[in-house]
Amino acid sequence: MEIKQMPPKEIMMKAFLERDPEFDGVFVAGIKTTGIFCRSVCGAKKPKKENIEFFPDPRTALLHGYRPCKVCRPLETAGTPPEWLAPLMVELEQNPGERIKDQDVRDMGIEPARVRRWFKQHHGVTFQAYQRLLRLGYAFGQIRQGRSVTDAALDSGYESLSGFGEAFRRNAGRPPKNAKSGEIITVTRIPSPLGPMLAGAFQGKLCLLEFMDRRMLETQLDVLASRTGASIFPGEDPVFLQTSKELSEYFAGKRKSFSIPLYSPGTEFQQKVWKVLMGIPYGSTCSYGEQAEILGNPKAVRAVARANGENRIAVIIPCHRVIGADGKLTGYGGGLWRKNALLAVERGERVFSQ
């Protein structure tokens, strides 16, 4: 999967304001004041320039908390949906936080396998994965940058923080399980050249950093909530600013180690595996077998690989530096294309345009 490059901002701004059809499908524009995103040709009234930001595709806009415009229908830019798919697209548009199951699709007279193929071909993900992105984007769309969780709840029309938490539970598709400690895990989006990441903070430390389209993301949230006894809410935390800054320096090739305080609860074995990961030098790689040897258990290769996959703090706890015994890339939850890009950054290659 290639990293899509966008035109310079001034060119996209001109194209959007002039409704230039030549840029339809090249980018989408997010409108901060309304929370929607549009195609370049959208006929709706144009906002002020300072309220516009650009994304390479609808998928990324969804992950940043925007919902599709009902005027220009940007979800259709990757390929106009055929007539047979229309009922499902209408349902997605009207109820972005709803979880649509295969049986629901069948009830519309549509074969789920056919839907999966269409979404995979035109949006690069399966329909279920696309729904996860839509739910997460919709949930995070209720939070504006700079507001506290309480302010966001009240500004959104909720009478209490618990009411907002229930709304987040419905939209994100998971409950804040085992919330018995009164603690809160704060989560937010952090942009990166490889796609938006979900960051989590607990007691002033980073406890989660993962790409938002990772399949196991909701499971990771559940594990964190279970291990901490904390509720999960969107919001801000000082550690996010440090994380964003150090990640930017890393992707620019200007940082080889991180100083971010981490909190990564796990079993005794997982902790040992993650400690070994932290010991792999920048720009180097290690095989799963070598990892097992360091742990003093050469036969535990599969267990080591599984523990690597359960790492919840990508990039900083560098599981991307572990490769197969034959030197080939294998086993990365964020996708092998991202693993390849991260290793290229550490080899000093120019991966992203500055």
List the catalytic residue out of 69, 72, 286, 319: 319
| Nearest Cα residue to 209 out of 250, 168, 178, 163 | 250
Q: What DSSP string describes 34-81? A: TTEEE-TT--SPP--GGGEEEESSHHHHHHTT-EE-TTT-GGGTTSPP
Q: Is 72 a catalytic residue?
A: no
List all residues 6 or more positions away from 206 whose beta carbon is below 8 Å from its beta carbon.
199, 200, 239, 243, 260, 261, 262, 263, 313, 316
d(C-alpha 244, C-alpha 260), whole Å: 10
Q: Which of 220, 26, 11 is nearest to 136 (CA)?
A: 220
Distance CA 230, CA 205 (A): 14
**Residues taking part in catalysis:** 319
